[in-house]
Amino acid sequence: MHKKIHYHDTDCGGVVYYANYLKYFEEARTEFMLDRGVDLRELSKDNILFAVKNVDVEYRAPARYGDDLLIRTEITRVKNASLEFSQSAQKDDKILVAAKTKVVCIDNSFRPKVIPQEVNGRLNK
């Protein structure tokens, strides 16, 4: 996923505000799943939700207003009720920010739920 950095993405120092990377990574995970035929909105109608359990972020270098970033996303681990993602924000070939995110499958009562086989199959492509 490509992300153009706009003025509203930056802080008073002219660099991307650190918390914005969490939004970029969330958007990229959503697009990653959609590209594999997994529509989170449709799953929610069937009482299947995904929630972030934890995020480990390493900030290596700043992005600035006007930069065009490539947000890379891959699944590194699939369990019965969770997914682990590895993501990075890159400018050219340089990784600026790297993250590992674990999401859990839950129901509307926030209890863990096994990821449906059909969803699991699509994500393992």
Task: Reply yes or no on whether 107 is catalytic.
Answer: no
User: Where are the strands (E) in the chain, listed by range?
Assistant: 2-4, 49-59, 68-78, 82-91, 94-106
Pairing mode of beta strands 49-59, 2-4: unpaired
**Is residue 97 classed exposed, middle or buried when 0-12, 13-18 and 19+ CB atoms within 10 A define those classes?**
buried
Q: Please, what is the end-to-end C-alpha distance for the chain in angstroms?
A: 18
Measure Cα distances from 53 to 37, 74, 78, 81, 119 in Å: 23, 17, 14, 12, 19
* Active-site choice (11, 35, 39, 107): 11
CA angle 103, 58, 67 (to 5 degrees): 100
So which residues are the catalytic ones?
A: 11
